[in-house]
Amino acid sequence: MFKDLSRREIWRYLGYKGSEPDETVCRIIEETIDLVENTVALRQISRRVTCKIQPDDTIFLGSMKVKSQSLAKHLQGCSEVILFAATLGTGIDRLLQRYNRLQVSRAAVLQAVSAAAVEEWCDQCQKQLEDGLEEGLYLRPRFSPGYGDLPLSFQRPLLDSLEAGKRIGIELTDTMLMTPTKSVSAIIGITSDKKSCSVHHCAACAKTDCPFRKEQE
């Protein structure tokens, strides 16, 4: 599942700005990828709903309503979206907990590998979702609560509407963080305009000083 995980992405998360890790660290990364592969309990859930955007940036997604300029911009031209959530499961968090207590160097690598893994898992899900669409329809990049001006508190209605707690075990803390921590929730626009799908997540985010921000390719 994760053997083709982008090593560059993992290095980037670990702070290797363009350079390559030495042999020892590379070996630890490979071991960690195997470990993640054997520990994950991959789950995902999605639901296709209608999307209406009003001129004042109020967006209706199925029965939900939210106001967000950046999401409105991101979903421009979409009359439908897919609501989506996915997780690597609680096993990774238990491992992270172990290494965080006992071997932080491993925790750092596990953190990076599992962050790359959850993105990879989402990409795989998204590809399947896209393949399942009618001819000529495509999916925009994932847009998550907390991006731009879409409030993090939108997690609650989004995950509730997916029954994400019951179905795939994603619950929220009081501060709107997802548990298991290696989880993603997102809104994915459905569009007939293929060109509009090539924007990377980073480009959609307002945090321009983020250390992990990718330059537009």
Partner 1 sequence: MNFFTELAGSRMLFFDGGMGTLLQDAGLKPGELPESWNITHPQDILSIHLQYLQAGADFVTTNTFGANALKLHGSPYTAQQLTTAGVQLARQAVQQSGKKAWVALDIGPTGKLLKPLGDLDFEAAVEAYKEMVKAGAEAGADCCIIETMSDTMEMKAAVLAVKECCQLPVFVTMVFDERGRLLTGADIPAAVAMLEGLGVDAIGLNCGFGPEQMLPLVDELQQCCSMPILVSPNAGLPVVVNGQTMYNCLPDDFAKVMAEIAKKGVWMVGGCCGTTPAHIAAEVAACQGISPKPLPVHHRTVVSSGCCAVVIGEDPVVIGERINPTGKKRFKQALRDGDIDYILNEGVHQLDAGADILDVNVGLPEIDEADMMKRVVSELQGIIDLPLQIDTTNMQAMEAALRIYNGKPMINSVNGKQEVMREVFPLAKKYGGVIVALTIDETGIPETAEGRLAIAEKIVRTAEEEYGISRENLIVDALTMTVSSSPDAAEVTLKALAMIRQKLGVKTILGVSNVSFGLPRREIINSAFFLLALQAGMDAAIINPASEPMMQSLFAYRVLAQKDAQCSKYIERYSQTTAAAPAPAVTAGSMTLEDAVRRGLKEETVQQTRAALETAGPLDIINDRLIPALDLVGKGFEKGTIFLPQLLMSAEAAGAAFDLLKEVMAASGTEQQKRGKVVIATVKGDIHDIGKNIVRVLLDNYGFEVIDLGKDVPPEVVVETVVRENVRLVGLSALMTTTVPSMEETIRQLRAVTDCKVMVGGAVLTQEYADQIGADYYAPDAMSSVHYALKILSPEE
Q: Please give the sequence-ordered ranges of beta strands (E in DSSP) within 74-215, or none if there are none.
A: 80-87, 138-139, 171-172, 178-179, 183-191
Per-residue binding string, partner 1, 77-116, x by CB under 8 A, is ------------xxx-xx-xxx-xxxxxx-xxx-x-----
Q: Is 70 in the site for partner 1 (CB under 8 A)?
A: no
Q: Is 31 in the site for partner 1 (CB under 8 A)?
A: no
- Closer residue to partner 1 in complex, CB, 195/208: 208
Least CB distance to partner 1 at residue 192 (A): 20
Strands 43-53 and 80-87, bridge-based pairing: antiparallel
What are the residues whose beta carbons fall under 8 Å from the beta carbon of 179, sequence distance 6 or more?
Answer: 93, 170, 171, 172, 173
Least CB distance to partner 1 at residue 62 (A): 5
- Closer residue to partner 1 in complex, CB, 209/217: 209
Per-residue binding string, partner 1, 154-193, x by CB under 8 A, is --xx--xx-x-xx-xx-xxxxxxx-xxx------------
CA atoms within 13 A on the CB side of 195: 1
Chain-centroid distance, C-alpha 206: 16
